[in-house]
């Protein structure tokens, strides 16, 4: 079995994760005796009709099945028979015709006709489910039973909503193909669309010449998926909001709302807390910077046809600590609401993020640490001491930069590397990987001869050396000392051809100690900047760290050379084991 495709598929699935357990909201639908045309704005969970309508005075639920007929329909409920091929129907188990039911589960963003017993009193149907983006299926030259993403505060009139939708004509008065369903199941033609308002959670029969290009004047699309889903590893995602009006500007508001708790059954991840969001925008000096998503939301006026592509990021270091109470795990969940300034439209977007699962990988340690992996970056030195003049550090005429490589294993042990090789090793065949995997090598022996897809990163600022185990804690302070022996080929005092600096006696035998060359040492200290909730950059603390670089070099001169500057490191791999290293 070749695991390369499986590995790629696993990465794609974790990056393009399906929003399978997230962003909960309870939709309240008023029902009256008789017929009700309703529009589900959420994906109900549980979705089984018997569960949603349990112990309720509901006689039947109908869903139009357009696979059989797209041209004909009938508004007379007397012909809504279970045998009708154009409809799927659910009948309660107590109905003698229940065996004719062909509707078993409810789907979000779909319209239904619900028949309530005539002797019942009006009641509110509470449906908890996952937030969904509008997803309407329109059939041309036909009437469509559909609902719309309208705001309950100021729902628009039919004329306003379809003003720039030429596919739907609202100007024909008594010839309008716009209908609402009354309690008797009779289709009532809407002849004054400029006065009648669309209602949230209600469904209507709407005729169209062809399928409309957009569901409403605001077209909202998270790039790549139907949710702002960051999965276990993603840090940023784009959100597109487009004004589809051909001639009018719209002021758009984007706000973050909390998610409700998931249903107790169904195996959904627990609600661990809200998603800590940031967004990328230009500042006063025209530079792109990350900002905290404001509690009051974001606003922007979009010209006709303008698209607002907003880059959103999740600050994983700000995810609140949470210990799942059950076995379903946990996820951080929120709801983003897009509205216009007049609060006539309302579109909800799920937002979801998970912490990486502790999955054992071939060639890696079973233990896991939040900072595990390979970190690569730069140290920039801009100050050095001058003992002949002062005890203080002085600024250099120009800074010098060099590469830093640090690896953190699954036990949180950090090592300074001079070089590292990433390669595909076919000899690593532990289950479930049966044909190799990618691994890291930083010393001898290196990758096997048959390793493929090799990439090497190195730093010329350090001697060729095995990985140096550092003391301290990554993201706090790390320290270590590099010893450069008198016989090390990179020792600056060692000269192969100069008899006074080759560390050989008169018989050309090597001295066993530093006779003609000195042993040098480099004491390094990496002091990390604190990772606080004040940083809006979603990468910082998760895949990007920085701090102060300090080095004391001894042996080159009588007094130690002290230098100081800054460093930054970015995580480029989460492989938590160096081959050949014993933790």
DSSP string, 69-107: -SS-----GGG--TT-TTEEEE--TTSTTGGG----B--
Q: Token pair for residue 194?
A: 């400029």
Residue labelled with tokens 């059950």? 326
Is residue 301 within 8 A of residue 252, CB to CB? The reply is: yes
pLDDT-wise least confident of 221-230, 233-242, 281-290, 468-477:
221-230
Is residue 402 within 8 A of residue 540, CB to CB? The reply is: no
Q: How confident is the model at residue 13 (pLDDT cuts 50, 70, 90)?
A: very low
| Structure confidence by residue, pLDDT tens digits, 130-141 | 999 988 888 888
Q: What is the mean pLDDT of residues 546-558?
A: 89
Could you tell me what percent of the chain has a pLDDT over 70?
Answer: 86
DSSP category for residue 318 = G
Is residue 480 within 8 A of residue 470, CB to CB? The reply is: yes
Lateral strand order in the sheet of 419-425: 437-441, 419-425, 452-458
Distance CA 466, CA 489 (A): 15
Please choose, from the candidates 196, 156, 150, the residue with its C-alpha nearest in 3D space to the C-alpha of residue 173: 196
Q: What is the mean pLDDT of residues 379-398?
A: 90
Quote the pLDDT of residue 431: 47
Q: What is the mean pLDDT of residues 235-252?
A: 92
Q: What is the pTM of this model?
A: 0.79
Q: How confident is the model at residue 315 (pLDDT cuts 50, 70, 90)?
A: very high
pLDDT of 2 higher than 60: no
- Higher per-residue confidence, 498 vs 18: 498
Where on the phi/psi map is residue 266: left (φ > 0), alpha (ψ -120 to 50), or beta? left
pLDDT of 193 higher than 70: yes
Quote the pLDDT of residue 245: 85
DSSP category for residue 175 = G
- Higher per-residue confidence, 9 vs 536: 536
Q: Please tell me whether residue 13 adopts helix, strand or coil conformation.
A: helix
Quote the pLDDT of residue 435: 73
pLDDT of 84 higher than 80: no
Please choose, from the candidates 379, 450, 442, the residue with its C-alpha nearest in 3D space to the C-alpha of residue 576: 442
Residue labelled with tokens 């910077």? 289
Quote the pLDDT of residue 213: 80
pLDDT-wise least confident of 103-117, 160-174, 541-555:
160-174
pLDDT of 5 higher than 50: no
With vertex at residue 567, the alpha carbon angle to CA 561 and CA 568, rounded to the nearest 5 degrees, is 165
pLDDT of 10 higher than 60: no
Count of Cβ atoms closer than 10 Å to residue 552 Cβ:
16
End-to-end CA distance of the chain: 30
Quote the pLDDT of residue 19: 39
Distance CA 24, CA 338 (A): 17
- Higher per-residue confidence, 415 vs 68: 415
Please choose, from the candidates 275, 270, 273, 263, the residue with its C-alpha nearest in 3D space to the C-alpha of residue 325: 270
- Higher per-residue confidence, 141 vs 358: 141
pLDDT-wise least confident of 119-123, 334-338, 355-359:
355-359
pLDDT of 470 higher than 50: yes
Is residue 315 within 8 A of residue 538, CB to CB? The reply is: yes
Instruction: Cis check for the bond before 479: say yes or no (omega within 30 of 0).
Output: no
Distance CA 173, CA 192 (A): 6
Is residue 338 within 8 A of residue 347, CB to CB? The reply is: yes
pLDDT of 338 higher than 70: yes
Q: Please tell me whether residue 292 adopts helix, strand or coil conformation.
A: strand
Q: Estimate to the nearest angstrom the gap between the alpha carbon of 222 and the chain centroid.
A: 11
Report the range out of 352-356, 488-492, 568-572 with the highest average pLDDT: 568-572
Q: Share the mean pLDDT of the chain.
A: 86
Q: What is the mean pLDDT of residues 344-368?
A: 77
Quote the pLDDT of residue 358: 55
Domains located in the chain, CATH noted = 19-208 (no CATH), 218-353 (2.60.40.10), 373-573 (no CATH)
pLDDT-wise least confident of 93-107, 161-175, 428-442, 554-568:
428-442
Quote the pLDDT of residue 459: 95
CA distances from 393 to 92, 409, 461, 550 (A): 83, 35, 21, 11
| Structure confidence by residue, pLDDT tens digits, 451-464 | 889 999 999 999 88
| Structure confidence by residue, pLDDT tens digits, 477-526 | 999 999 887 677 777 766 666 665 656 656 667 766 665 577 788 999 99
Could you tell me what percent of the chain has a pLDDT over 90?
Answer: 56
Q: How confident is the model at residue 37 (pLDDT cuts 50, 70, 90)?
A: very high
Q: Token pair for residue 210?
A: 């062809």
Per DSSP, the residues of 455-489 read EEEE-TTS-S---EEPEEETTTEEEEEEEE-TT-T
| Structure confidence by residue, pLDDT tens digits, 145-179 | 899 999 999 999 999 998 878 888 888 877 788 89
């Amino acid at each position: 079995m070749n695991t390369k495709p499986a590995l790629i598929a696993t990465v794609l699935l974790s990056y393009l994760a399906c929003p399978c357990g997230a962003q909960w909201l309870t939709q309240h639908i008023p029902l009256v005796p008789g017929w009700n045309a309703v529009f589900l704005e959420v994906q109900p969970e549980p979705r089984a009709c018997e569960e949603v309508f349990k112990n309720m005075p509901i006689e039947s639920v109908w869903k139009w099945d357009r696979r059989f007929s797209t041209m004909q329909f009938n508004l007379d409920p007397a012909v809504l028979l279970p045998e009708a091929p154009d409809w799927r129907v659910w009948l309660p188990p107590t109905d003698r015709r229940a065996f004719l039911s062909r509707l078993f589960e409810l789907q979000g963003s779909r319209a239904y006709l619900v028949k309530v017993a005539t002797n019942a009193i009006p009641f509110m149907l509470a449906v908890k489910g996952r937030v969904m983006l509008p997803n309407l299926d329109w059939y041309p030259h036909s009437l469509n039973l559909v609902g719309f993403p309208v705001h309950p505060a100021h729902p628009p009139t039919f004329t306003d909503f379809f003003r720039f939708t030429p596919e739907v004509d609202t100007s024909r008065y008594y010839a309008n193909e716009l209908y609402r369903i009354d309690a008797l199941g009779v289709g009532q033609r809407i002849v004054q669309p400029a006065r009648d308002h669309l209602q949230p959670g209600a469904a209507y029969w709407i005729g169209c010449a062809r399928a409309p290009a957009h569901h409403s004047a605001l077209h909202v699309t998270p790039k790549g998926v139907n949710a702002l889903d960051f999965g276990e590893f993603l840090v940023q995602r784009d959100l597109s909001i487009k004004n589809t009006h051909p001639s009018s500007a719209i002021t758009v508001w984007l706000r973050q709302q909390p998610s409700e708790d998931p249903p107790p059954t169904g195996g959904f991840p627990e609600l661990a807390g809200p998603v800590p969001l940031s967004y990328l925008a230009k500042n006063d000096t025209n530079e792109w910077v990350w900002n905290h998503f404001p509690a009051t939301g974001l606003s922007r006026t979009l010209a006709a046809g303008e698209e607002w592509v907003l880059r959103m990021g999740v600050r994983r270091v700000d995810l609140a600590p949470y210990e799942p109470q059950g076995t379903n795990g946990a996820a951080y969940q929120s709801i983003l609401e897009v509205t216009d300034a007049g609060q006539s439209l309302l579109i909800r977007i799920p937002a979801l993020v998970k912490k990486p699962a502790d999955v054992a990988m071939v060639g890696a340690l079973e233990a896991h640490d939040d900072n595990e992996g390979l970190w690569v970056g730069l140290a920039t030195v801009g100050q050095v001491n001058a003992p002949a003049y002062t005890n203080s550090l002085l600024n250099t005429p120009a800074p010098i930069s060099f590469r830093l490589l640090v690896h953190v294993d699954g036990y949180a042990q950090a090592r300074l590397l001079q070089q590292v090789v990433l390669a595909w090793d076919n000899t690593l065949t532990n289950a479930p990987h049966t044909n190799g995997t990618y691994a890291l090598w930083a010393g001898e022996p290196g990758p096997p001869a048959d390793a493929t897809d090799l990439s090497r990163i190195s730093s010329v600022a350090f001697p060729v050396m095995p990985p140096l185990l550092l003391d301290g804690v990554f993201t706090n302070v790390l320290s270590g000392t590099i010893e450069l022996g008198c016989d090390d080929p990179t020792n600056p005092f060692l000269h192969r051809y100069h008899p006074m600096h080759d560390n050989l006696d008169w018989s050309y035998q090597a001295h066993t100690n530093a006779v003609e060359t000195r042993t040098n040492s480099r004491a390094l200290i990496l002091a990390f900047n604190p990772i606080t909730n004040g940083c809006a950059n979603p990468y910082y603390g998760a895949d990007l760290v920085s701090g102060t670089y300090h080095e004391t070099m001894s042996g080159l001169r009588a007094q130690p050379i002290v230098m100081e500057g800054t460093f930054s490191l970015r995580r480029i791999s989460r492989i938590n084991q160096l081959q050949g290293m014993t933790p």
